Amino acid sequence: MKCKLSDFLIKFSIIPILYAALDAATATIISVTILTVYRDLIGLFLRLKPMPVMDVCTFFGLDGSHSNIMSAIYFERLSADKAKERFSLLISKIPKMRYSIVNILGDLYYKELPQKQVLDIIFNEIPKDQQLKDQKDIDRYISQNINIPFDFSRPQFEIFWQENYQEKFSLLLWKQHHSFCDGASLVSFINSTADKFDISALFPIKEVSSVQKIILKLGIPFYFMKMIVAFLTLSFKENPLHDGKRQLTGRRFVSTGKFFEFNDVKECAKTYKVTINDLVTSCLSTAIKEYFRLQGDTKSNFVNLVIPANIRFKHYQSIEDIKLENKFAVVPLRIPLFDDIKTSLREIPKATSRLRSAFGEVYATYFMTKFATKYFPYFFSQWYVNFSSMAFTMALSNTPGILKPLELSGSKQIYGQSYIQTAGHCGLTFCILSYVDKIRMTVNVDESIMQEPEVLKDLVEKYLDQCIEMTKQ
């Protein structure tokens, strides 16, 4: 999102006048009040809805790299008409599916579109002469479309539907801007595409008591300072996946891995007494080490990852309760690199252990991000996103998906995978999605970083296969 100096001067010109005319205390109170309510007043007057600040945050970053998400969901054969019928119902029930965006002096607002108009805009059947035949076709389609920005005149999502994929499936390709919602909201939304909204199909969320919530809020200043120090002191070394410049071109390459049986991965993690996340991160550590060695780098012994963390205390209870929102914060994580997968399995859980006790820091980062976006000029947030993202070699997203098959008009959702682009200079994302009884990994990367993402993906899969095989033996 471009932050124009003229917009800033128009919106904030009243503040120095207040300080010149009034005492500091009075001027501060009036200034904070203006910054708190002016968007709501403009929205009320123009019949618009001010965009929540966490949605606004997803527009900060580089102009040529857009924070888009794409997913592929495989159904048993289902007609386009049945799919349209369900999405039409969801459009009528979930207001954000009807929102376009209006820019007023750099501030973003939602404007509701007529319901009948929305379905024609967002639902696209893939033409017969462009039908996707296999995973390579899907990867190519994702690569070509994931970085295309959405026009503000329309909702920030769309559906590409192929009724006949490989004679036995129907394929839904979902694309959205991150402002539409985060991964946790998206999984709940996917749940709503079924005939029955079933909370038991979602991974449980650990409950937080009222007392714990109070402690979290009281600790915000302390936790936030810890997180800021962690970000600002994160040292960085150039490596084959990060040249220290990150001049992203915007052209993307995507690679999708094979399906792993969820139970195999779960039992493997249980055998080694680690979490599934630690198991995959261990494989990633050893895979990156081997990739660096293949590129002639034998000295790099760590990389910095950025990881999104969910800020929710419970699931949405019904379709009507679903809020397509962004409630997450990003967390820095340095992982050491090891040649041997057994060493990684032993050492990586030590590196990730602080994440399991860092919810206070995550919550404080979420709260202060909202505060800064609301009360500071946007160019500050824009600068911070681009500055802080330079320290990271890649983003790692591990999303718990649907636990059991969802059914729509007698057709079950069977498989799924996702592809995520992050903001700023972090042009490489490694994504893991569990879906029903399978786990699948994807890599999405800017061409300036690497042009063969399947190499890194294959290495991670090689080490995960080794772990599973060692468990079975």
| Cα distance between residue 147 and residue 422, in whole Å | 11
Residue that the structure tokens 């890649």 belong to: 394
Global pTM exceeds 0.75: yes
Sorting pLDDT into bands at 50, 70 and 90, what band is 1?
Answer: low
Mean pLDDT, the chain, rounded, equals 91
Who's near 15: CB < 8 A, 6+ residues apart?
27, 31, 34
Q: Which contacts of 248-251 are long-range, i.e. CB under 8 A and separated by 24 or more positions?
A: 248/62, 248/64, 248/65, 248/425, 248/427, 248/446, 248/448, 248/449, 249/64, 249/446, 249/447, 249/448, 250/64, 250/65, 250/147, 250/446, 251/147, 251/446, 251/447
Range in 95-109, 296-310, 367-381 with the lowest mean pLDDT? 367-381
Which residue from 43, 29, 35, 37 is spatially nearest to 376, judged by alpha carbons?
Answer: 35
Strand partners, 175: 70, 158
Q: What is the pLDDT of residues 154-174, one digit of tens each?
A: 999 999 999 999 999 999 999
Q: Which domains does the chain have, with CATH numbers?
A: 5-47 (no CATH), 68-201 (3.30.559.10), 210-472 (3.30.559.30)
Q: What is the pLDDT of residues 300-354, one digit of tens each?
A: 999 999 998 888 888 888 888 888 999 998 888 899 999 999 999 999 999 988 7
Which residue from 109, 110, 81 is spatially nearest to 95, judged by alpha carbons?
Answer: 110
